[in-house]
Structure 1
Amino acid sequence: MIDVSSRESRRQFYTSTAWRKLRRKVLIRDHFECQWCAAEGKVTMSDQSILEVDHIKELEHYPEFALDIDNLRTLCKEHHNQRHERFEFRKKGKSKKKDYRDDEWWG
C-alpha cells in the first residue's frame, strides 16, 4: 500500500514515474476531456483549461486505490476544485456577490 500520510509522501507519490505514466494513460483514455463537462454536454479540453486526474475514492482515505485506473478520471481544474470544495469555487445560489453588473450594456 502507498503511504500518503504526509505532505512529503504525497509529493513523492505525485512525482513518481508510476503516477506520471498512469496519469497519461487516464488522459488518453478520457480523450483529454473533462468528464464532468462532457456529462453536462460541454467540451473542455487541455487547450481550454488545465486538466487534472482525480481520484474518485479519495487518496487519503483509500490509498490502496492510488494506482487503480478505474478509480481515476479527468476533470478540468474548475470541476476538480468544485469536487473538493476548495479555492475560489462558490456553490450556486450561496453567494450574493456578482462578478459582473447585469445593467451594463454596450452600444
Structure 2
Amino acid sequence: MDTATIRKYFESGDLMKFYKSREWMKLRLVALRRDNYECQMCKDEGRYHKAENVHHVKEVKDRPDLALDIDNLLCLCIKCHNLVHKRERIKREPKFWIEEKW
C-alpha cells in the first residue's frame, strides 16, 4: 500500500480501510511480537499489562508515509493508548437503579 492510498483513505474519512488492510494486520502482528505483547508505557514504569493496541508514534494523518514503518509503532494497553490520545473515560450510570431497599 502506498502513501497516496493511505492519504486518500484519511481524506475521505475512511481510515478503517487502512486498519483492515492485509499490510496493516501483518505489520501490527510483527509489532506485537517484537514487544512481547506488552504495553511499553507500563513496562517503562515497571508494571506489566498486555498490549491491545498498536499506536502510531507519528500520527497517520500527519505522516502517512510512516503508517507502515515498524519503527513508528508502539504497543500499548487500552488505558495508555487513551492517555496518549488524551481521551477521558466516560463514567456511565447503571442501567437500572432501584431505590427500594429490602
Pairwise TM-score range, normalised by the shorter structure: 0.7 to 0.9
Deviation at 1:52, TM superposition (A): 0.1
Correspondence for 1:29: 34
How well do the aligned residues superpose, as a CA RMSD in angstroms? 1.3
* Counterpart residue number, 1:53: 54
Cα deviation for residue 45 of structure 1 reads 1.6
* Cα deviations by residue, 1:63-102 (Å, 9 ceiling, x for unpaired): 110000000010000000000011418xxxxxxxxxxxxx
What are the ranges of 5 or more consecutive residues in structure 2 without an aligned counterpart? 91-102
Q: Which has the larger radius of gyration?
A: 2
Query: TM-score normalised to the size of structure 1?
Result: 0.74
- Structure with more of its chain in helix, by fraction: 2
The size of the alignment, in residue pairs, is 84
Structure 1 gaps of 5+ residues are: 90-107
Q: Does 1:68 align with 2:74?
A: no
Q: Which runs of 4+ in 1 moved over 3 A?
A: none
2-structure distance, mates of 1:27, 1:20:
11
Q: Quick one: distance in 1 between partners of 2:56 and 2:41?
A: 14
Normalised TM-score (structure 2): 0.78
Matching residue of 2:48: 43
Amino acid at match of 1:77: I
Q: For the residues of structure 1 that align with 2:50 and 2:82, how far apart are their CA atoms?
A: 16
